[in-house]
Structure 1
Amino acid sequence: MEIAIAGAGAMGSRFGYMLQKAGNQVTFIDEWKEHIDKINRDGLLVETESSKEYCQIPAVFPTEAAGKFDLIILFTKAMQLEDMLQKINHLLYKDTAILCLANGLGNLEIIEKYSGDSAIYIGVTLWSSELEAAGHIRATGSGSIELQPINETSKERTLELLATLNLAGLNADLSEDVLLSIWKKAAFNSVLNTYCAILDCNVGEFGASPQAMILTEKVVAEFVQVAEKVGVPLTADSVLETVRNVFSPEESGHHYPSMHQDLAKGRKTEVDYLNGAVAKIGAKAGVNTPVNSLLTAIIHAQEDIKGL
């Protein structure tokens, strides 16, 4: 497949690396000049638990991207999604499939504004990655993908997409209710991203605290209440089980979530699309969300202190 990764940060770079290794032709589309220059000059440095290697993948700015891609995977931050779609709109053809695995609530509505006749697939992933520096990622642990076609134009295309992802070892499967999966992932991220950022720790360190599940349950309870109001059958047990499962080093215990990485590297976070999003939706639905509202305010205070 000819594949473009729109948003070649930590996760986009990991997916691009795995897809390229599986024999696909991958192009990175990003706006970080140092990152683009480093990848084009030296290749993407991928560090795993047992090795380091350079992977040669072309990287371009959105306005420089050209050609026709079979698949465009959107991996920007939620607050950058609309800007990216505006800049790569010239790449969206009827035969182009769009796959969005980005974090947060509300991404589909933005994509539908720009997708035209392109097929849309929405999903979630439990893969993790860390951007160590320009042109350098740390890819540890394993993961999976759940996805669902929103406007499936061809069953064959869906099967080809799944086969491509799975040949790259990305463990993809079809979801029967992707909206539920997105809410579940948003609740999961609103726990691990936010608490690890506030407490300055990785996933395993948070999980080792006797307070971890108490803090987790407070966030998840509000997500379940809001989800029920908007017709999403989210259960607390499903989220809590997923959170517990990633505490071990074999999963994502050594991982610093993206919100922690963003604050550490002086970047604004996605909190408004996680804890902040459920608080906003809850306010419209008449559900109080004091815990998620407070966590959102704390993260914004950290951003303010850092001048972000």
Structure 2
Amino acid sequence: MKFTVLGAGAMGYRYGVLLQEAGNQVDFVDTWEKNVEKVREQGGVLVARDHQDQHLVPVNVYYPEEYQGHPDVWVVFTKQMQLADFLKRTAHCFDEKQYVLTCMNGMGHVEKLLEYFKPAKLIAGTALVATVLNGPGDVDFIGARGAGTMNLANYTEKPDEMTHKVVTELEKAQFNPNLTTNFMGTLLAKVVFNSVVNTLCTLFEITMGEFASYPGADELSKQLINEAYDVCERAGIQMLNTRQAELESVNYVSTVANPLHYPSMYQDMSHNRPTEVDYINGYLVELGRKYRYEATTHAFLTHLVHLAEHTRQAPKEAVSE
């Protein structure tokens, strides 16, 4: 099968490289000039696992305007705020037969993808796996091979033959895919997870394990999970997990699967890049307001992240003695 990864960042590289190693033809399309030129200069992307065994994996990478490929499946892993521009610049390669797979963080991408792809050909989900982009053309896969999991669903909630073929290739690449027939519940499970771990770890600049080691971590998690589930229930969304199961997922990933990992929101914040908090906690706030429910804790955290962004980026005035 032929895949093209749109967004050669941490997760884009992970999915693309492992799908390529599983025997598929894979191309990468990216807009970050330093990344594209570094990969071309060194002949591929440097890949390590848990900071060890770094090696060069040959890959093909293109800018959107120069790409002429026509894959069976697009794999989309851009940042939410970059997606519309990415799609516009690559649209000359889209056709009505193609499928699109995405496991992006947050919410907001589905509507943009449906502007270019038919509903029956949109497969979206969530990936519980940690990856770090050290720099241009340099990625680190966190966790043992096959340790991560993912949930995915066809937008129509009626998986067809091609959807099952995609799942088979993901299984070969050891992503441990779980195909569901609950589209919104599948996506919101990761939004709720990220609204706890990503946001709190970012604000306090700590790893997931450090968060989990705090004696009051469960209380913090429960408050955010309960508020998020209250929103989803009012919106008529059937969640994949119970509230208790969602808490257990937060605890397992934080203490067992990826305790040393800094979430992607922290990685953005630490590099003074805009975070996706508006598409995670902020999304839950806006969804709640549609149903006359104020998700006050999520609103507060959204403001705190923006305050942290503001103070990091604001010029520091000299202090007179």
On whether the aligned pair clears a TM of 0.5, the verdict is yes
Distance 1:29 1:225, change over 3 A: same
Give the 5 Å matches for 1:150-229. Answer: 150-151=155-156, 155-229=160-234
Query: What corresponds to 2:285 in structure 1?
Result: 279
Which residue does 1:90 correspond to in 2? Answer: 92
Show the 5 A alignment for 1:12-27: 12-27=12-27
Equivalent pair of 1:122/1:149 in contact (CA under 8 Å): yes
2:133 match: 131
- Structure 2 CA distance, aligned partners of 1:152 and 1:123? 12
Structure 1 167/135 Cα, relative in aligned 2: closer, same or farther at 3 Å?
same
Tell me the CA shift for residue 28 of structure 1.
1.2
2:300 equivalent among 277, 294, 302: 294
Q: Provide Cα deviations, 1:162-208, integer angstroms capped at 9, x if missing partner.
A: 11111111111211212112111100001111001001011111111
Give the whole-Å Cα distance in 2 for the aligned partners of 1:293 and 1:186: 14
Measured at CA, do residues 297 and 53 of structure 1 come closer, stay the same or move farther in structure 2, by a change above 3 Å?
same
The DSSP-based 3-state class of the residue aligned with 2:250 is helix
Separation of aligned partners in 2, 1:302 and 1:64 = 38
Alpha-carbon contact 2:8-2:30 (below 8 Å) kept:
yes
CA distance in 2, matches of 1:145, 1:95: 25
User: Offset of 1:228 from its aligned partner?
Assistant: 0.7
Please give the alpha-carbon distance, in whole angstroms, between the structure 2 residues aligned to 1:106 and 1:45: 31
Instruction: Using the TM superposition, give the Cα deviation of residue 154 of structure 1 relative to its aligned residue in structure 2, in angstroms.
Output: 8.0
Give me the CA root mean square deviation.
1.8
The answer to whether residue 245 in structure 2 is matched with residue 244 in structure 1 is: no
Which residues of structure 2 form unaligned runs of 5+? 315-321
Identity of aligned residues (%): 33
Letter in 1 for 2:235: V
- Aligned residue-pair number: 307
Shift of 1:151: 4.7
Q: Residues 4-43 of structure 1 correspond to what in structure 2 (within 5 A)?
A: 4-42=4-42, 43=44
Question: 1:57-105 deviations in whole A, cap 9, x for unaligned?
Answer: 1111112211210110111111222221212212221221101111112
Instruction: Say whether 1:48 aligns with 2:53.
Output: no
Q: Distance in 2 between matches of 1:85 and 1:253?
A: 34
Distance 2:291 2:157 in 1: 31
Q: Do the aligned partners of 1:21 and 1:168 also contact (CA within 8 Å) in 2?
A: yes
Asked whether the 8 Å contact 2:76–2:104 carries over to 1, the reply is yes
